[in-house]
Every structure is written in structure tokens, then in C-alpha cells.
Amino acid sequence: MDVIVAGIGIAGAFALRSLSRSLEVLGIDKREKLGYPVKCGEIIPTKREMKRLLPNLEDYSLFDLPKRFESNRTDTISFFLPNGKSYEIDFEFHVVRRDEMIQTIAAESGHRIEREVILGYKNGTLITNRGMKNPKVLIACDGANSRIAKDLNLWSYEISSAKQYVMRNVECDEKTVYMFLGKAISPGAYAWIIPKGNGVANVGIGFRQKYSNESIHKVLDRFVKDFPYSSQFLKKAEIISKVGAIVPIDRPFERAVHGKVIFAGDSASMIISHTGGGIPISMIAGDLAGKVVNNFFDGGKLEEYDFLWKKYLGKRLSTAYLFRKLWDLFAERDELFIKAAKFLSNKDLEKILHCEVPWKIKLFYPFLRLFT
């Protein structure tokens, strides 16, 4: 076996897609249906936004997303403060059918895929419920709860919990993604309504227990039924399905190549940590891992991966982390945040969502560094 791709979510599917068919490759995942159930809001910034979000990327063709993966396209973010003040921000997203996207990309890669559970990684050997495997290269794409990262003693990143309902009969503007801040409905994170089209929406909350003495279920129910700025859209809404999940909210690994193991996506905490936007980052990381591994079999070095992902993603992921740490300062202080937000314009928020630092925040940089 030349390469094993361990975990076929977003990063794994894009790694399989870019791995050469001349290599002997095996993709493994514990799920019966790849990508299902969907534990995600399913928004991906369009190519236009990606150019601004990651200006150091050289090739944006990954973001020419085929129409068949899209269930909706939005052009605005409506951003609600805890007191109901809202900002309308121009920002385009594809709302994708994430499970179909993963299944199609993995299948079209032409590589072999097996249903197996990763049980551990010890002394260079991957252990699954179907035996021991010794690939020449292992691409670890096993997500935020990475067994492989744990066994290599790398799993120390901070995570947030999340819970999401898929709901029907949601009455909102289907061209708008709604984001809501406030301790009562999303302690230490934010909550969302993401229209998938035809009255169906992903409705969920990020949740950090250290900022709350309630359960995530109770807080999500409040968001759906009682919080005035969100429940106005959900009066007739019914739950179709429920999922719980975790998402990394930390800096990425210092190094993502460890011997013959390459980490891509959530497993390496590669994420825009202030928004929890991990799909585009995992697409890029998975794609890049596959390409570097192809070169490795032609005499290149795996370490090239660390150089490249840092070049393309490093600076913006650091900025995202700075925003996330800044947000932590306000996580328990809605009133203080509302006061501070008076200094922020629509343009400032647009910048923050694109991982750009507004000059007003730059002024506080030296002070902020003390907290990051």
C-alpha cells in the first residue's frame, strides 16, 4: 500500500481526488454513507470571497463548485448583536449538499474505499477493526476527534461543541445567512440559521460549556423558541433531524507532517477559528496533501506540505485565532460587547469575516497580544 487516507470527510475526499491513480491508495472511513449524517452548516464562501479571504492562495479553481452540489446560494450575512441590533454584510456563500459532495468527489477519485474503524496508530502502524496496515504514507483526515492525532500526542487543541437541527417551514430571506451573538443563545460562540432553499434550513448553535451552566440542548431550544431575534423566523418551523458535533477553535498544528503521517483539515485544527469555517480550509489542505504525496513518490519531500499550507493559509488562520481570542474577552459580557460594537461599522465586520484586521482593532494590537 502506497497511501492510506484515513477518514473521508471534506479533507479526505479532496486528498483522494488529487492523489495520482498510479499510486496504490486506500481510503477508509467508519461511516456507512460517507458524509452522513451531515454535522455541518454547509456554507462555503464563493470563489469571489475566497480570493479576499485567502489572498496568498495561488489557485482558486477548487472553488468553482459544480452547481450539482449546491442547494442554495446566499449573498448577505445578517449579523445580530445580543440586543437585536443587526448588520447586513455583503458576503456570498454556496450552501452545499455536503454529504453528496463528499460521496461524489470520493467516488470520482477512482481510488478504493473501505468501511473500517480506526482504532489506533502505534509505532508506524495503523490499527483498524480489520487489521494492521503499514502504508508508505498516511494522510490523517479523521476530523476534530482524530484518533491518529491523539495517539501521536498531538491532540491538545481547544474545541467547541455544536448542536444543529435541520428544520422545515423556516420563514426567512433565503438569500441571507443569519448569525446571532449572545451568551443566552450561544455562550462563547455564535448561532446560525442557514437557508438550504424551499423553507428548509440548518439551525444551530456553537456552545462552550465553560461559559455556561446550562446544557447545550436547553440553550438551542431557547434559540429556536424564545430568543426574539431568531424565533421570529422559526414560529412554524419543525425539526427534521438533529446532530451534535465538535469543531476545533484553535491555532493549527505547528507542523502537520510527522514522519510518514500528514494531517489535513480538522485533525490538525486547520480552521478559521472565529467563524468555525473549516470546509474551504479542509478542501485546500486535503488537495495539497494529495499533491505533495504524489511528488513524494517522484522523489520530493513530505515536509513541502508544511511549507505550502503555511504559505497559503498560515497568516489568515493566525488572524482568525486572534479574533477568536478577542471574542473570548467578551464571551461573558454581552453589555460590554454591545458597547464595543458601537465602534464597528458594516465595513469593519465585513473585514473581520474576511480575516482582515480593521484599523480600529489594529490600534489595540499590542494590548491584544497580551491575551493571545
Ligand X SMILES: Cc1cc2nc3c(=O)[nH]c(=O)nc-3n(C[C@H](O)[C@H](O)[C@H](O)COP(=O)(O)OP(=O)(O)OC[C@H]3O[C@@H](n4cnc5c(N)ncnc54)[C@H](O)[C@@H]3O)c2cc1C
C-beta closer to ligand X: residue 28 or 81: 28
Shortest spacing between CB 320 and ligand X, in angstroms: 12
Q: Is 247 in the site for ligand X (CB under 6 A)?
A: yes
Q: Is 289 in the site for ligand X (CB under 6 A)?
A: no
Shortest spacing between CB 247 and ligand X, in angstroms: 4
Binding mask 95-124 for ligand X (x = CB under 6 A): ----------------------xx------
Shortest spacing between CB 93 and ligand X, in angstroms: 8
Question: What is the C-alpha separation between 172 and 88, in angstroms, rounded?
Answer: 14
Shortest spacing between CB 335 and ligand X, in angstroms: 28
Q: Is 278 in the site for ligand X (CB under 6 A)?
A: yes
Structural contact between residues 85 and 185, judged by C-beta atoms closer than 8 angstroms: no
| Residues sharing a CB contact under 8 Å with residue 183, sequence separation 6 or more, in sequence order | 82, 211, 212, 331, 332, 334
Question: What is the C-alpha separation between 330 and 16, in angstroms, rounded?
Answer: 41
Q: Is 252 in the site for ligand X (CB under 6 A)?
A: no
Q: Is 167 in the site for ligand X (CB under 6 A)?
A: no
Can you give the length of the chain in residues? 372
C-beta closer to ligand X: residue 72 or 267: 267
Q: Is 322 in the site for ligand X (CB under 6 A)?
A: no
Helix (H, G, I), strand (E, B) or coil at 15: helix
Q: Is 11 in the site for ligand X (CB under 6 A)?
A: yes
Q: How many residues bind ligand X (CB under 6 A)?
A: 36
Structural contact between residues 190 and 260, judged by C-beta atoms closer than 8 angstroms: no
Shortest spacing between CB 336 and ligand X, in angstroms: 27
Residue of this chain nearest to ligand X (CB atom): 278
C-beta closer to ligand X: residue 82 or 252: 252
Helix (H, G, I), strand (E, B) or coil at 198: coil
C-beta closer to ligand X: residue 69 or 341: 69
Structural contact between residues 42 and 96, judged by C-beta atoms closer than 8 angstroms: yes
C-beta closer to ligand X: residue 98 or 351: 98
Q: Is 162 in the site for ligand X (CB under 6 A)?
A: yes
Contact pick of 111, 147, 196, 291 for ligand X (by CB under 6 A): 147
Q: Strands, DSSP E only, in the chain?
A: 3-6, 25-29, 43-45, 70-80, 86-96, 112-115, 118-122, 125-128, 131-133, 137-140, 159-168, 176-180, 191-197, 200-207, 238-248, 257-258, 261-263
Q: Is 19 in the site for ligand X (CB under 6 A)?
A: no
C-beta closer to ligand X: residue 146 or 302: 146
Question: What is the C-alpha separation between 159 and 247, in angstroms, rounded?
Answer: 5
Question: What is the C-alpha separation between 309 and 303, in angstroms, rounded?
Answer: 10
Give me the residues that bind ligand X (CB under 6 A), please: 7-12, 29-31, 39-44, 117-118, 141-143, 147, 162, 164, 204, 245, 247, 265-267, 271, 276-280, 282
